[in-house]
Every structure is written in C-alpha cells, then in structure tokens.
Structure 1
Amino acid sequence: MNLILMGLPGAGKGTQAEKIVVKYPIAHISTGDMFRAAMANGTELGKQAKSYMDQGQLVPDEVTEGLVKERLQEPDTESGYMLDGFPRTIAQAEALTDITAELNKPLDAVINIDVDPKILADRLSARYICKTCGATYNKLYHNPKVEGTCDRCGGHEFFQRDDDKPETVQNRLQVNIEMNTPLLDFYADRKLLYTVNGDQDIDAVFAEIEKILAAMA
C-alpha cells in the first residue's frame, strides 16, 4: 500500500501518520526526516541538500526528487510507503509519478485530512508552550491539569511561538491552501484522492482512513 498523506497545518496529519504506521507495516517517509538521514549518512545527494540548506536556500527539485527516489528503494518500503511533505508542487507530483513507475511502486491513494481553515486558525492560535520544558498545550482542549502549572515539569511560565500568533497562522494557512489546492486537483483527476473529515475525534478520523485502506487490501 503506497500513500501520500496531506492536510493543512493543525489538521492532525502527524497524529494520523503515527496511527497508520502502527497498524500497517509501511514506511513513513517525512521529507524532513529524509533530508536529515541523507545528510547524517553523508550521501552525495545529502551533501548537496546540506550545501543549499546551510546557505538558507531551498533545496532544488532535482535534489529532493533524487532523495525520494533513493529512499523509495530502501528495504522498508517493500511493504509500502507513506509520503508526508512531498510532493509540494505539480512538478514534483509529475516527477513522483515517473519515479514510482520506474520503481514499480505506484501510488494507491492520496489521503487528505480536511478541516475548515477557520477551525484550524482557532486551533493553531490557541497553542502555548511551557518556557521551562517545552511541553505544548492548547487553550481549546489541552490545558494543564492545574491552571498555570506545567504537567511535565511544574513550571509556571508559558509563551506563544511567533508561528502560532493569529496573523502568522492566517498567512501560513493561506500559503498552504494555495500550495495544496493544485495538488488535490492533480490527484483527483487521477482518481487517487480520498478526503476524510478531520474535524472530529482522532479515533473517528482514523476509522475513516481505515475504511479507505481496508478497501485496498
């Protein structure tokens, strides 16, 4: 089973990715993890990626695509894979189609966790963090057991990251919507797109995903 997992920031993609790989023996391929592993292993493509990142530049598509191709040839992908964070553009999606065809590992599904952006803006803007240990809380559904006291370390100072401030969150979501929409259309045209309702309990979201995956087994 070969998948792409998509969703806007705050939609619960990370949580669902963890649940998927626990239930199904497939490799979870996060772009960030892939870059870090290639750089740590000192591969030629890893060195190229590092040289761009060290200069604060975007890694070119050909390097990223080369890393994806290398990663999809590793033994843990034989039972399947789940891409998270790639592709991000139509050009990358087209390259992935070629790569997976060449490796005989075509995509089976693209699962999009869909949540209203207004709800996501509220979710993300409600996050706050313990200044002492970094534990994350949310004013909407995950506050410390004792108000003003971190569950993990007992600290009393909290802060909100700049990334989680309302104006930054709105901009971040808009950028992601503009990036994701063409990809969703691309995969819908190819009858690969499945959309699940992310605005419900975590287990209910996973139950929807399980139904999709069970139909492919």
Structure 2
Amino acid sequence: MTALNLMLMGLPGAGKGTQAERIVDQYHVPHISTGDIFRAAIKNETEMGLKAKAFIDRGELVPDEVTNGIVRDRLAEADTAQGFLLDGFPRNLAQAEALEKMGKELNRSLTAVINIHVDPDSLLERLTGRYICRNCGATYHKLFNPTKTDGTCDRCGGHEFYQREDDKPATVKNRLEVNLKMNTPLIDFYQQQNLLHEINGNQPIDDVFTDVQKILNDLRN
C-alpha cells in the first residue's frame, strides 16, 4: 500500500482546516502543521527549536534553513512512515526544493499535493462576511449565519455591529493577494512534477471531501 505523503494547499478561507481534520481522521496520518511543530521544537528545546526561538525573540523571521531543519526533524519521526499531511510548508520554492531533497533522504517523498481552489472573489465574500454585535459580542456572517431580523442581534436585541480589522475588505484582499503570489510558483512547481491535484472548493464541504477521498483512495490502491 502506497504511503500517503501529502501536502495541502489553498488560499485563506478555502476550507483547508476542515479538510485537513477529515483527512487525518479518515486516513490516520499525522497532521504536520508548521505552527504546531515550531511550538513543539521550541518547547522541547531541540537544536533547531532553540535556533528558531532566537530569531522569534528578536522579532525576526525564521530563516528557511531553520524552518527546513524543524520540518526535517519532524518527518524523521517514526509516526510518518505510513504517511503524513503537511500544512503550511513549503511556503516558497527554496523550501519546496529542500522538501524534495529531504523526502529522498528520509524515504518520505511527496505522493500528492492537494490544492483546494476557490476563486478569490468568493473567498472575499466568505472572509469579509463576519460581523459582531457591539453590545454582547455575538458573531454573525452575512452569508452563512445572518441575524434572524435584519439589523437586530438575536441574542441581546442590540442594533450596533462592527467588523474586526482582519475581516475588513481591504485587509482581506491584501491577504489573499499575498497568498496568491506565494502559492502560484508552488502550484507550477508541483504541476511540473505531476503531483498536483486541483479540488473545486466552491462546493459544499462534504462534496469537497468526496473529491479528496477519490484522489487518496486511487493513490493508496
């Protein structure tokens, strides 16, 4: 049976987190999120963790070689022998090339890269739809969870709402553009290696996962 060595891609709001949880539950592979392994390496005071901490403490970006080292240490652990799900790495071509090299050295080469594609306009609508009641803090969404009566909070009857800075259109648009710029070279890189699988993320969550399952079941057999 082929090991499922996977990498998950998608713009903010594409539903990556939800699909990652389902993949991990269904296929019993460890979820390797860069945020989690950074925190673990720093807490455990590994060599790479201490190096990363020194940069973070100075308010600097952690350089690729340290990030690559932390990912390599994690991939070398025994629980990844039958597969893993990488999330948040690689972020650039240099990291992708480093991952390719460590995959060969550790016998953990990628089996597939799954990109959940949602057009940026839909994502803008998804990500800017959240609003909060100023009085009681209840959270709503214009598309997915609107107030029962327009302009009135279901919980406290308040009429004043606000948006967090992160949810404002200009901020979200900028974040999407930055991510799009970052992801495009990676998508090209993995397409050239015949590893890329595009999934339509504009469907209901269950349908997205059905498409993911088709790909993973074909790879495993």
Are 1:205 and 2:181 matched, yes or no?
no
Q: How far 1:176 sits from its partner (Å)?
A: 0.5
Pick from 188, 192, 197: which aligns with 1:194? Answer: 197
d(CA) in 2 for partners of 1:193, 1:183? 10
Unmatched tracts of structure 2, length 5 or more: none
- Aligned residue type for 1:32: G
Q: Which residue of 2 aligns with 1:138?
A: 141
Q: 1:58 to 1:18 in 2, by over 3 A?
A: same
- In structure 2, the residue corresponding to 1:53 is in which secondary structure? helix
Cα pair 2:133 2:153 within 8 Å, conserved? no
The 5 A counterparts of 1:1-217 are: 1-129=4-132, 137-143=140-146, 148-149=153-154, 159-217=162-220
- In structure 2, the residue corresponding to 1:216 is in which secondary structure? helix
- In structure 2, the residue corresponding to 1:93 is in which secondary structure? helix
d(CA) in 1 for partners of 2:137, 2:38? 24
Cα pair 1:130 1:155 within 8 Å, conserved? no
d(CA) in 1 for partners of 2:77, 2:134? 39
Q: How far 1:211 sits from its partner (Å)?
A: 0.3
- Aligned residue type for 1:148: C
Q: 1:135 to 1:11 in 2, by over 3 A?
A: farther
d(CA) in 1 for partners of 2:62, 2:110? 24
Cα pair 2:130 2:139 within 8 Å, conserved? yes
Q: How far 1:131 sits from its partner (Å)?
A: 7.0
Q: How far 1:55 sits from its partner (Å)?
A: 1.8
- TM-score normalised to structure 2 length: 0.90
Q: How far 1:78 sits from its partner (Å)?
A: 1.8
Cα pair 1:111 1:193 within 8 Å, conserved? yes
The one-character-per-residue Cα deviations of 1:161-210 (angstroms, maximum 9, x if unpaired) are 21111001111100111000000000000000000000010000000000
Unmatched tracts of structure 1, length 5 or more: none
- Aligned residue type for 2:121: K
The one-character-per-residue Cα deviations of 1:41-73 (angstroms, maximum 9, x if unpaired) are 111211111111122211000000000000001
Larger radius of gyration: 2
Cα pair 1:25 1:79 within 8 Å, conserved? no
d(CA) in 1 for partners of 2:132, 2:216? 35
Cα pair 1:129 1:159 within 8 Å, conserved? yes
- In structure 2, the residue corresponding to 1:174 is in which secondary structure? helix
d(CA) in 1 for partners of 2:164, 2:175? 13
- In structure 1, the residue corresponding to 2:60 is in which secondary structure? coil
Q: 1:98 to 1:17 in 2, by over 3 A?
A: same
- Report how many aligned residue pairs link the two structures: 214
Cα pair 1:198 1:205 within 8 Å, conserved? yes
d(CA) in 2 for partners of 1:101, 1:131? 53
Cα pair 1:131 1:155 within 8 Å, conserved? no
- Aligned residue type for 2:172: V
